[in-house]
Amino acid sequence: MSTIHRLHVSAELALGAEIELETAQAHYLQRVLRLDVGASIRLFNGRDGEWLAEILTAHRGRVLVTPRELSRHQPDHHAAPTLLFAPLKKTRTDFAVEKATELGARRIQPIITKRTQTKQIRNDRLESLVREAAEQTERLELPTIEPGIPLFQALENWNPDEPLVFCDEAGDDQNALWGGEHGRALPMAEVISQFSSANGGVLIGPEGGFTLDERTQLKNLNFVYAVSLGPRILRAETAVVCALTIWQTELGDWR
Ligand code: SAH
């Protein structure tokens, strides 16, 4: 893994392009990494692959760089999962979003459910979080962060050809659907091994879990599959990591 610092830019990346870095990026390179004119950095923008670039000028907080050589081609869009999760308390949401980026989620859709505690989501903060995580994890594209919307609104325009696994923690609850006498949800790996594509999604509920009404509505959607993440109740952010890990192992780019 290269030690050359990696930055996401929105500008086009091509030989001869001269790109002015954002102030915060310029400050970081100059003040923290102490890089100067002639130093190399790596740039990616989610469209043109990754380029080895050179610092052309670095003066008074302004840094100009130019791509010198394409070091990684931009792959075609590969199948990857969408994460739907109920936002949690600040640091837990940050953790969930950062791990979803490292685990290759294509899209992150915060959803509001009856028991979601944190209704307002700071998308600008999440955008910079996923950008840093994508730089660190060596992704060539950023996951899309959608604005938080109610769960069933998000499912209204869900592509029904893409399976959505609903992580159902109430497997042992005698009063809940898919729990008790209905039989607990099947293990996630077993359920998704029948899927044909890694395009699809995982749905993780809030700390308080899903209501009986929400699980009934979910049960009526033919693209939704209830799954169990084992016999213990996981924190939502733990469930995000586990569900995406199982997804990538069974269907995605960990194979
Ligand atoms: N209702 C739980 C808390 C929910 S855990 C309680 O009684 O404490 C938060 C979310 O993580 C759940 O909505 C579910 O989506 C997921 N989750 C946690 N443990 C799980 C498990 N063992 N199986 C499936 N999903 C789980």
d(CA 192, CA 134): 26
Q: 228: CA distance to ligand 1 center in Å? A: 9
Residue 255: DSSP 8-state: -
CB 140 within 8 A of CB 50: yes
Cα of 128 from ligand 1 centre, angstroms: 28
- The H or E element containing residue 31 is none
- Residue 25 contacts residue 58 (beta carbons within 8 Å): no
Residue range 1-55, pLDDT digits in tens: 678 999 999 999 999 999 999 999 999 999 999 999 999 999 999 999 999 999 9
Contact 85, 209 (CB under 8 A): no
Q: Measure the CA–CA gap between 251 and 54, rounded to whole angstroms.
A: 38
Instruction: Please give the Cα distance from 173 to 141 (Å, whole number).
Output: 40
- Ligand 1 atom closest to Cα of residue 167: 25
Q: What is the mean pLDDT of residues 134-160?
A: 96
CA atoms within 13 A on the CB side of 47: 6
Flag whether pLDDT at 176 surpasses 90: no
Supply the pTM of this predicted model.
0.94
Question: pLDDT per residue over 57-116, tens digit each?
Answer: 999 899 999 999 999 999 988 899 999 999 988 889 999 999 999 999 999 999 999 999
Tokens found for residue 1: 């893994």
Q: Tell me, in angstroms, the distance from the centre of ligand 1 to residue 254's CA.
A: 25
Which of 99, 184, 234, 241 for a ligand 1 pocket mutation test, highest count of atoms within 8 Å of Cβ? 234
| Residues 82, 200 contacting (CB under 8 angstroms) | yes
Q: How far is CA 115 from the centre of its chain?
A: 22
Query: What local confidence, expressed as pLDDT, does residue 171 receive?
Result: 66
pLDDT at position 1 is 61
* Nearest-atom index, ligand 1, CA of 231: 22
Structure tokens at 13: 């990346």
Q: Are 87 and 97 in contact (CB under 8 A)?
A: no
